[in-house]
Amino acid sequence: AEAQTRTRFTWWYGLSGQLGEVMESYCKNFNASQNEFEIVCTNQNSYDRALQNTIAAFRAGEHPTMVQVYDVGTTDLMLSGQYLPARQLMSENGYSVQWDNYISSVGNYYATSKGEMLSFPFNSSTAVMYWNAGAYRAVGQEKPPETWEEVEKAARALKAQGHACPIAIDFDSWQHWEQFNAIHNLPMATQQNGFGGLNAELQIAPLFRRHANNLIAWQKEGLIQIRTPQGGRGLADSFAQGECAMMMASIANHVAIGRTAKADLQWSVGMLPLYAGHNRTNSMVGGASLWVLKGRPAAEYKGAAAFLAFIAKPEQEQFMVSNTGYIPVTRTGFESIKASGFYDQPQNRGREVAMTSLLVTEPTENSRGLRLGNFTQIRALYANEMAAAFSGQKTMDQALNDLQAESNRLLRRFEQTYRGRQLP
């Protein structure tokens, strides 16, 4: 009987695996914390499906109250106009939020050009390098290298010792392309990566072109292996099992890797490598935020606001940081987690690298984020073009040219769909 008196509202999330289990814990814990609301959570299995299914559900009027949207879905949500701005939602439902407590590079990703936050920061990350210290120590590389030149040298030495997989990559655009550009302070697109307008055009930075060609050469040389879930074993698993000695992935995976790593694996994390002669710029904020969607009954918004107030509590931020590799999203959260000695505990060692990487410079036009529409599809293009290049179906230069041309078609279609509308 009690359950019937509660107001139900729905949340679709995209995280899966161990991170999806943590999302479920949030749902359970919120429901156990009060009697007024019941959050009903649905795992959509990936960020892109959470976004695509939400867009489809809108058309049928069956969208959830709230959805988890990844960094690069922000522009689609913003232009759709189908959301209740976070500030408005919270103030209308009687909550006061200390908005300026959010780490500014996190908050700004989800804010209008005037600084009004539209969605709620929840699980924030950045990309890092995971490093098998044991394997690389055997070839004299004591620390995670800073540069690609050092990575190449160490990988070659490891290969010479008979190691089958010195470096693993997959076809995820985020850590391999988008973050590469950010830390080298290179644009992904004109119009300040889209912040300046929907007429942005995608670009392939010459240094990325050189890098992508290097990756092909290193693959031919046996320094790089492709590891995708479709191929049977993804990056994280190959690394945790000690098969591949270096990979780049989200800091979000840190806890899951620690829990699944084979017993004697000695590993650490470092910042993404740079090419020599470049100054490091901050890496981009990744992960996702929570958007509350228009067109649901008012009572559901009371529930959503209560949930958002719940996850913003310091102990809930602590829960996220302890059970996943995500970073704290508030300044006070970061300070108290640091002061508690969290980063000195053996299982958390190296995790502060993500914060260092995010905060190493003030965000530039190239590193504050992306405001490009249809980016789910652009990432799929990247994956297809890389697959074609690494399997020898086309040259890397051809693949990059095709990626650029097709991406610009998607961007023009987005611009056309939202003709006359502007970024908030």
Ligand X SMILES: O=P(O)(O)OC[C@H](O)CO
**Strand, coil or helix: 13:** strand
> Shortest gap between Cβ of 329 and ligand X (angstroms)?
12
Residue 286 near ligand X by CB under 6 A: yes
Residue nearest ligand X, CB atom distance: 286
Q: Which is nearer to ligand X, 75 or 141 (CB)?
A: 75
User: Contact with ligand X (CB under 6 A): which of 10, 65, 80, 125?
Assistant: 125
Q: Which is nearer to ligand X, 166 or 373 (CB)?
A: 373
> Which amino acid would we find at residue 120?
F
- Dump the DSSP string for 399-421: HHHHHHHHHHHHHHHHHHHTTT-
Give me the 171-210 binding string for ligand X, x by CB under 6 A, dash otherwise. Answer: ---x------------------------------------
Q: Which residue has the tokens 């670009």?
A: 203
The token pair at 49 is: 């499906």
The rounded radius of gyration (Å) of the Cα atoms in the chain is 21
Which burial class, exposed, middle or buried, applies to 154 when counting CB atoms under 10 A from its CB (0-12, 13-18, 19+)?
buried
User: Contact with ligand X (CB under 6 A): which of 107, 121, 166, 287?
Assistant: 287
**Residue 419 to residue 401: CA distance in whole angstroms:** 26
Compute φ and ψ for 371, nearest 5 degrees.
-125, 65
Q: Which is nearer to ligand X, 53 or 141 (CB)?
A: 53
Of the candidates 372, 411, 299, 295, the residue with the CA atom closest to the CA atom of residue 57? 295
**Residue 408 to residue 107: CA distance in whole angstroms:** 28
Q: Which is nearer to ligand X, 10 or 173 (CB)?
A: 173
Residue 118 near ligand X by CB under 6 A: no
Residue 37 near ligand X by CB under 6 A: no
Q: Are 53 and 61 a contacting pair, CB within 8 Å?
A: no
Q: Which is nearer to ligand X, 89 or 240 (CB)?
A: 240
> Shortest gap between Cβ of 128 and ligand X (angstroms)?
10
> Shortest gap between Cβ of 131 and ligand X (angstroms)?
18
Residue 382 near ligand X by CB under 6 A: no
- Size of residue set near ligand X by CB under 6 A: 12
> Which amino acid would we find at residue 346?
P
**Residue 156 to residue 166: CA distance in whole angstroms:** 8
> Shortest gap between Cβ of 252 and ligand X (angstroms)?
4
Instruction: Give the length of the chain.
Output: 424
Region from 233-241, 283-291, 297-305, 411-419 binding ligand X, contact rule CB under 6 A: 283-291
**C-alpha dihedral, 326 to 327 to 328 to 334, nearest 10°:** 150
Q: Which is nearer to ligand X, 73 or 166 (CB)?
A: 73
Q: Which residues pair with 330 in a beta bridge?
A: 102
> Which amino acid would we find at residue 193?
N
Residue 71 near ligand X by CB under 6 A: yes
Q: Which is nearer to ligand X, 22 or 167 (CB)?
A: 22
Region from 49-57, 222-230, 281-289, 353-361 binding ligand X, contact rule CB under 6 A: 281-289
Binding residues (CB under 6 A) for ligand X: these are: 47, 70-72, 123, 125, 174, 250, 252, 286-288
